[in-house]
């Protein structure tokens, strides 16, 4: 479950950052950038708190 949350979190983070570069290179327009960045932000903020700053169980 933790690995799934981490994967979704980083997918959201990528959706927040990558569209800015795509707009800069005129691959997508700004309206698409806003939509993708909003989806990425929501993904990141809804999944990251559940796995960040949690201690890993130690294996004896």
pLDDT digits (tens, 9 = 90+) for 12-50: 999 999 999 999 999 999 999 999 999 999 999 999 988
Determine, yes or no, domain membership for 56: no
Determine, yes or no, domain membership for 55: no
Determine, yes or no, domain membership for 53: no
Note down the domain range covering 27.
2-48
Determine, yes or no, domain membership for 30: yes
Determine, yes or no, domain membership for 54: no
- Decide if pLDDT at 55 tops 80: no
The whole-number pLDDT of residue 1 equals 85
Domain count, the chain: 1
Q: How confident is the model at residue 2 (pLDDT cuts 50, 70, 90)?
A: confident
Determine, yes or no, domain membership for 14: yes
The whole-number pLDDT of residue 57 equals 67
Determine, yes or no, domain membership for 39: yes
The whole-number pLDDT of residue 54 equals 67
- For 6-41, the three-class secondary structure string (H helix, E strand, C coil) is HHHHHHHHHHHHHHHHHHHCCCCCHHHHHHHHHHHH
Determine, yes or no, domain membership for 34: yes
């Amino acid at each position: 479950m933790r690995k799934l949350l981490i994967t979704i979190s980083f997918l959201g983070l990528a959706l927040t950052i990558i569209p800015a570069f795509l707009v800069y290179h005129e691959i997508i327009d700004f309206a698409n950038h806003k939509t993708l960045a909003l989806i990425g932000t929501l993904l990141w903020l809804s999944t990251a708190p559940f796995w960040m700053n949690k201690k890993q169980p130690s294996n004896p």
